[in-house]
Structure 1
Amino acid sequence: MTIEPRDPLDPDALRARLGELARQHGITGAAIAIAAGDETAEAATGLLNTRTGRPATTDSLFQIGSIAKAWTATLILQLVGEGRLDLDQTAQSVLPELGLPEPVTIRQLLAHTGGFEGDVFVDTGRGDDAIEKLVALLKDVPRLSPPGAVWSYNNAGYVVLGRIVEVLRGVPYNTALRTHLIAPLGLTHAATCADEAILHDTAVGHADGEPVPVWSLMRSNDPAGASLAMRAGDLLAFARAHMRGDPALLPVSSARLMREPQVALPDLGRPGHWGLGWELPRWTGGTVAGHDGSTPGQAATLRLVPDAGVAVALLTNGGDPDPLRAGLVDPILRRLAGVVPPEPPSPPAPPLPIDVPRYAGRYVSDVMAWEVAGDEAGRLWVTVTPLGVMAEHGGPRRFELARLRGDTFVFAEARGGVHPAVAFVGDGDGDRPRFLHTGRLNVRT
């Protein structure tokens, strides 16, 4: 679905389109902000909380989830610019107590190539030592691959980066965030925790139309995106500073460095690279940078087209954000910046043959188990079971996998209008894949 052929910077047209798509896709509340050069357009729709009936406005705060990783990366690049940190020095040189399986560099942590298990969601309390306590637990994380070898999304790596910020700045992470990013950007509505968020009109996450029982994830994961909340327009201010350069935030050279490709993404149906804090998807017509984020019942999207001076921030608090993003954000970027995303993958017709024994097995991470098995007809099925802290968010689910190409598969049935992709990845030591790559490396057991 594409945006109506009206000016996307017209606030009335933008509000109408946002409301139409939000209702169509069961979105509880949403806010969007668009930058095109010096022009800005903002709109909001729906509710912040179905229990209170409070409407969402352009002054409402939503959580930005993992987009906060780009903020953590910016704090790190500030330290690099000050000469206090080098991208290719090891994290252990700053944190000698860090007990990761192998030495890992700052660059590798920023690019998600640290090579260790990255979903370490442990509540270590609400004190200023929450991040330090979580970093101390990383001595027990499994090694997945040699550092720098394979991209695997890593929340814990950004917790380590947040701890490095704390040590070099001599203050808690959220204080550094406020002092070195929020204040220089002039943001008056950003909140780094629930205690601050309650002072504003703030969205509550929703699932199945009802508020979720918690507002944010644990403080120990703040550098990875546990609780940072703001207006869509505030996220746009951050994007503009990255596109234009801002002496109070980050020079142009450092901002460009963050957008330089560091590692190619595996074939997960979305070709591209990862930079230093940014995803760099391969779109037609120009260079795009961005990040997505999710917290309980909330989702966020940020896309930048620096050469065109265009950025879009979309924040939601319930429902399926994927078709809303595809139906609104992508067409806006096409209209204003001339960039076009690749067609999303879908199962080929006729179906490609599958070597079932090659893929069948159990693949596990700390938070998810994937049981892959064939049936009598030669089809491939996966049963996904949340583990650990994720188990409270639902039970096992079963999906058919259709082979897309090579060792890449997509879900045969669309979810939210898209067919998620997974890839079976080897390590060069055998014919059978060692990992199921779902954005994270899940080890074959």
Structure 2
Amino acid sequence: MADLTHLRSLLDSQAASLQVPGAAVGVIVDGEEHVLTTGVTSVEAPAAVTGDTLFQIGSTTKTVTATAAMHLVERGLLDLDGPVRRYLPDLRLADERAAEELTVRHLLTHTGGFLGDIDDGDSWGADALAASVATYDRLPQLFAPGELASYSNAGFRLLGRLIEVVCGEPYETAVGRIVLGPLGMESSFFFPWEVAPRAHAVGHVVRQDGPHAAHSWGLFRDAMPEGGLASSVRDQLRYAAFHLGTATVDDEPVGAATRELMRREHVHLGAPWSGIGLPWLLEERAGLRLVTHGGNIGNLQLSTFVMVPERGFAVTTLTNSAPGKALGALVTDWCLEHLLGVAPQPVRLPLREPGPEYAGDYDAGQWTLAVDEKLTARFVLRPHLVAAGVEGMPDMPLALVEGTDDLTLATDPRQAIGRFLRDETGQITFLHLGGRAARRVR
């Protein structure tokens, strides 16, 4: 049995240091499952985090949506390379040709080309997804389907609507029937009224005087396919074991060949991930292939989810404040080093001075990245988000990697996190940062 004593100490100490009120960690290694927890669900009404505490897992939900979609593909009800309009003939995009060319695979690989970060509605009605997709003709078409990958919440919202139409039932019902039920994920829910009577984590905003509980759920019903699932760390381990192929499941949502297809690289990306599967985000570290997908609900609840299929390994970290992203990275790094023998490689990328050509404004939809001549990126939220009390992001000091248009953090230049993209004339047209393509507007 793996000795996780030091991981438990790291979890306790780093959660306190980073001001993460509560966290739950699940690990699968050597055929065994381990659960570690620390802290409380809320600083206002403290209750100890347990292995059954529900956290919002954010965008890890996309892989659950994709699993349901691939179930339909396996059964011939969806064609992976078939046009979306075959199933949604009334679909309208800003670009008619893009609407004709858009396929299910484009949605799964974040290559649909239309603006990916869109506003949520304010409805919990059964028609929320349909109503949101009906507005897609207002979304700018940034590039042609398949031309480029740009992380797309809007694409997964559309995929959720496809599942509704093909199954003839609400998205949440279909996913429960296809994925959650067969995998025994009895502590996973989409609706806040299902979560409320159960032990659950509350998201926190971290200020100078410490974490403060946020009185917000963070999502409405139209966002369920891209990030709406609340789940316990034990259920996340059940989900990981299924995708690793180490679980015994009588009624598998998808077979082994489809799971491998989902983990395979379908789009080569570059920083921050090496590629995109269906829709797993792929990384390589010292020869190990990492299959990942974390989540973030409004910088209130953040999660990590990492598998190494060739080693039958998985680790997930669920947290309830923004620094939980850093905590999840520390937990993952510890596991890779101490359980799989992958020591971190201390590398400092060679940097070069930026020229004035990079300075400008880059439109990411819900915010603009204002980049100055020193390559400091300032996140400018849309006014309606500011009015709604959405927390902004701190300025991000960037640096160029020598000999390339690749970007790294100036304060921590160990790995590339994005790049500037040029058109055929050499003009900079996009800032690709954190997997998202932001179009240059100035």
**TM-score (normalizing by structure 1):** 0.90
CA contact (8 A) 1:58 1:232 kept: yes
| 1:309 aligns to 2:347 (yes or no) | no
Q: Which of the residues 310, 327, 335 maps onto 2:338?
A: 335
- Quick one: which amino acid aligns to residue 354 of structure 1? P
The structure-2 alpha-carbon separation of the partners of 1:389 and 1:283, relative to structure 1 and needing over 3 Å to count, comes to farther
| 1:20 aligns to 2:10 (yes or no) | no
Distance in 2 between residues matched to 1:127 and 1:217, nearest whole Å: 13
- Quick one: which amino acid aligns to residue 230 of structure 1? S
- Quick one: which amino acid aligns to residue 202 of structure 2? V
Q: Which of the residues 28, 34, 50 maps onto 1:35?
A: 28
Distance in 2 between residues matched to 1:108 and 1:407, nearest whole Å: 26
Q: Report 1:25-424 matches (<5 A).
A: 25-100=18-93, 101=95, 102=98, 103-208=101-206, 209-225=211-227, 227-244=228-245, 246=249, 247-266=251-270, 268=271, 270-296=272-298, 297-339=300-342, 348=350, 351-356=351-356, 358-374=357-373, 379-387=374-382, 390-391=385-386, 392-394=389-391, 397-405=394-402, 406-414=404-412, 421-424=417-420
Distance in 2 between residues matched to 1:195 and 1:55, nearest whole Å: 21
The structure-2 alpha-carbon separation of the partners of 1:24 and 1:370, relative to structure 1 and needing over 3 Å to count, comes to same
Q: Report the alpha carbon displacement of residue 37 of structure 1 after superposing the two structures with TM.
A: 4.2
The structure-2 alpha-carbon separation of the partners of 1:229 and 1:342, relative to structure 1 and needing over 3 Å to count, comes to farther
The structure-2 alpha-carbon separation of the partners of 1:108 and 1:290, relative to structure 1 and needing over 3 Å to count, comes to same
CA contact (8 A) 1:9 1:40 kept: no
The runs of 5 or more residues in structure 2 that have no matched partner are: none
Distance in 1 between residues matched to 2:292 and 2:392, nearest whole Å: 31
CA contact (8 A) 1:124 1:134 kept: no
The structure-2 alpha-carbon separation of the partners of 1:411 and 1:110, relative to structure 1 and needing over 3 Å to count, comes to same
CA contact (8 A) 1:413 1:419 kept: no
What residue is the counterpart of 2:440 in the other structure? Answer: 444
Q: Report the alpha carbon displacement of residue 328 of structure 1 after superposing the two structures with TM.
A: 1.8
CA contact (8 A) 2:22 2:38 kept: yes
**Count, aligned residues:** 424
The structure-2 alpha-carbon separation of the partners of 1:336 and 1:21, relative to structure 1 and needing over 3 Å to count, comes to same
State the Cα deviation string for residues 266-321 of structure 1 (Å, max 9, x = none): 3x3x3511000101112223322010101031001111111111111110001512
The runs of 5 or more residues in structure 1 that have no matched partner are: 1-6
Distance in 1 between residues matched to 2:83 and 2:383, nearest whole Å: 30
Q: Report the alpha carbon displacement of residue 23 of structure 1 after superposing the two structures with TM.
A: 1.2
Percent identical across equivalent pairs? 32
Cα RMSD, aligned residues only:
2.2
- Quick one: which amino acid aligns to residue 297 of structure 2? T
Q: Secondary structure at the match of 1:55?
A: coil
**TM-score (normalizing by structure 2):** 0.90
State the Cα deviation string for residues 309-348 of structure 1 (Å, max 9, x = none): 111111000151233223221221333334566667x564
Distance in 2 between residues matched to 1:324 and 1:355, nearest whole Å: 35
CA contact (8 A) 1:310 1:336 kept: no
Distance in 1 between residues matched to 2:72 and 2:129, nearest whole Å: 19
CA contact (8 A) 2:317 2:331 kept: no
Distance in 2 between residues matched to 1:360 and 1:189, nearest whole Å: 47
Q: Report the alpha carbon displacement of residue 353 of structure 1 after superposing the two structures with TM.
A: 2.4
Q: Report the alpha carbon displacement of residue 16 of structure 1 after superposing the two structures with TM.
A: 3.0
State the Cα deviation string for residues 148-171 of structure 1 (Å, max 9, x = none): 111100000000110111011111
Distance in 2 between residues matched to 1:319 and 1:279, nearest whole Å: 21
